Chains A and B, each alone.
Chain A
Amino acid sequence: MANIISDETIEYVGILAKLELDEEEKEQAKKDIGKMLDYIDKLNELDTSGVEPMSHVFPVHNVFREDVVANGDGREITLANAPEKKEDSFVVPRTI
């Protein structure tokens, strides 16, 4: 395996992705990501110099909305699935 994923990398990616893996999962993830990256490194065989990265397949552009209010009170639908709510707001663990 050419790509060796360190414990620190797994830890760091876990912080970015908000995922917490147990020891076993961590080892598996290190192996899996390493293997995937080895596989992805195949792309380096391709000479892509001078090629524009393509994010959209078609030249669709300028899709706009007019500035007109169309939505009314959204409290009910917004809070319909809230795991915990209070005073028409979502409840989360204290942030500061």
Chain B
Amino acid sequence: MMKQFETVIGLEVHVELATKTKIFCSCSTEFGGEPNSHTCPVCTGMPGSLPVLNKRVVEHAIAVGLATNCKITQNCKFDRKNYFYPDNPQNYQISQLYLPICRDGWIEVETEDGGKKKVGIHEIHMEEDAGKLIHDEWGENSLVDFNRSGVPLIEIVSEPDMRSADEVIAYLEKLRLIIQYLGASDCKLQEGSMRADVNLSVREAGAEEFGTRTEMKNLNSFKAIRRAIEGERERQIDLIEAGEKVVQETRRWDDAKEYSYAMRSKEDAQDYRYFPEPDLTPVIISDEWLQEIRSRQPELRTEKLERYKKEFQIPEYDANIITSNKRLADIFEETTAICKNPKKVSNWLMVETMRLLKEHEMEPEQITFSPENLAKLIQLTDGRAINSSVAKEVFEKIFAEDIDPEVYVEENGLKTVSDDGALRSTVEKVIADNPQSVEDYHSGKKKAIGFLVGQTMKAMQGKADPAMVNQILAELLN
């Protein structure tokens, strides 16, 4: 009989915090910029420079800890992690090992079978990001850019509580939602502001002991994470079934080749010689400070969902989808605040926005249109200035280029013609040109009016108010 194997997975998730400045200096954290433009003596490890901690970093870390049911370490400290690498300007990273800011938390995720499962959070610690290495395609050099060096990170270390790629994705999605809701990070996987390292081992079903685990790095999309987990699970099972041993090591996932390879070198001893960072003082978190942060915690998803149903009277199904993403929820609220029409806003998000996102393979985070323009569009349709088919066309433009719908409608002459005289003469012409349909109508085929409405709309290039067309037709035919 074939042996059954269970996969055991724990994650180390790095999240870039949404601060204006780096963790230990006053350089901007803005993404992009010329190489080394967002740098100073501190974040490039110049001799004599010293770090000073950004208070916002601590507050974001505490907020995430509270939202993930962690115990907050009220006397926490920083340590140095020593290793040589060119993206690490001091050749040590300021991180936390001995007294991380949060410990022993959990979040609840939904499993495939619709059940719920708690995934434990071992700890959350604060640390600094490294710089970026750019490799010459053919040359023998790499280039070092320290713009990202010193950008604040939290590393969220889970317990080995996950058993499948689906659970891992569910955990990551939940974590992302919580952090986005807190405003602690935008959690963009593509831009690297959320990154996961996967610790994975397999064991025979029912076994008590964990197997030997490997750590996989360089996973920058949910797809890559899923593939890496499946690939690594198979690789480990193959080894075990062939009577070989899994080696505890760090592996790098190459998503293009769908293969992970060991990052082994005599020069990476992986002995980080942590010791307390002497250039920083301890962070003492008083009960008052903790309470203050707790009271400032924004509304999280469940609360928001309830409020949407009550305050805006939108159906549970819609509220569920809109609150499933912080960006969608933000757009919803901002647009509603302007146009005061929650149902219409919800509708635009649920139908057209979702359709276009799917069509372009985009995430809601990538939405670029402004609530102002969506609100204007809704106001245009409410005031019957444009009809619904024109509105759809205009929305596509808003979605793509965030155009101002008022200006666009004006410039392209898309306004609904509601001038009675102009409509009446067009309708008269349509009646004259389509005697067969008129006869059909009079002989009881009431549906024939639909054809005549269509012909009128066509003649008006879609800009007629359909209700008026119907009204005039009915009048003239009878």
Residue numbers of A with Cβ under 8 A of B are 12, 15-16, 18, 55-56, 60-71, 73-75, 77-79, 86-96
Contacts and interface: CB of A to CB of B under 8 A. Distances in A.
6 contacts: A56-B282, A60-B281, A65-B53, A71-B38, A74-B38, A79-B36
A74 B276 CA distance: 29
A94 B55 contact: no
Contacts of B146: 78
B40 A68 contact: no
Contacts of A92: 86, 133, 141-144
Given A16-B271, A70-B26, A77-B41, A55 B58 contact: no
B54 A65 contact: yes
A56 B282 CA distance: 9
B281 A56 contact: yes
Contacts of B143: 86-87, 89-92
Given A92-B144, A96-B135, A61 B282 contact: yes
Contacts of A71: 25-28, 38, 40
Specify which of A12, A64, A68 lies most central, judged by the most chain B CB atoms within 10 Å of its CB: A64
A78 B25 CA distance: 14
Given A61-B283, A90-B86, A67 B20 contact: yes
Interface residues of B, number: 51
A73 B21 CA distance: 14
B41 A95 contact: no
Contacts of A89: 35-36, 134, 143-145
A15 B55 CA distance: 36
B280 interface: yes
B160 to A, nearest CB: 29
B39 interface: yes
Contacts of A95: 85-86, 133, 135, 142
Nearest to B91: A18
A78 B36 contact: yes
B19 to A, nearest CB: 5
B267 interface: yes
B444 interface: no
Given A16-B271, A90-B86, A92-B144, A68 B276 contact: no
Interface of B: 19-21, 25-28, 34-41, 44, 52-56, 58, 77, 82, 84-86, 133-136, 139-146, 266-267, 269, 271, 273, 276, 278, 280-284
B84 A18 contact: yes
Contacts of B55: 64-67
Nearest to B17: A67
Given A71-B26, A74-B37, A93 B141 contact: yes
Q: Is chain B's binding surface mostly helix, strand, loop or mixed? A: loop
Contacts of B278: 55-56
Contacts of A87: 35, 143
Contacts of A94: 135-136, 139-142
B410 to A, nearest CB: 40
Which residue among A86, A90, A95 has the maximum number of chain B CB atoms within 10 Å of its CB?
Answer: A90
Nearest to B83: A16
A95 B25 CA distance: 27
Contacts of B273: 16
A91 B142 CA distance: 6
B203 to A, nearest CB: 32
B39 A67 contact: no
Contact of A68 (B26, B36, B140): B26
Contacts of B84: 18
Q: Which of A62, A86, A91 is packed against the most chain B CB atoms within 10 Å?
A: A62
A91 B136 CA distance: 10
Given A63-B52, A74-B38, A94-B136, 16 more contacts: A56-B278, A60-B281, A62-B281, A64-B53, A64-B55, A64-B58, A65-B21, A65-B55, A71-B25, A71-B28, A71-B40, A74-B36, A89-B35, A89-B143, A92-B133, A94-B142
Contacts of A91: 141-144
Contacts of B141: 86, 91-94
B281 A69 contact: no
B54 A74 contact: no
B27 A69 contact: yes
A69 B21 contact: yes
A75 B53 contact: no
Contact of A12 (B20, B41, B52, B269): B269
Nearest to B275: A55
A92 B280 CA distance: 30
Contacts of B142: 91-96
Nearest to A69: B28
A16 B267 CA distance: 8
Contacts of B39: 74-75, 78
Given A78-B44, A96-B135, A64 B20 contact: no
Contact of A64 (B25, B54, B267, B282): B54
Nearest to B60: A67
A43 B438 CA distance: 109
Q: 4 shortest A-B CB distances, which residue pairs?
A: A70-B26, A89-B143, A64-B55, A67-B56
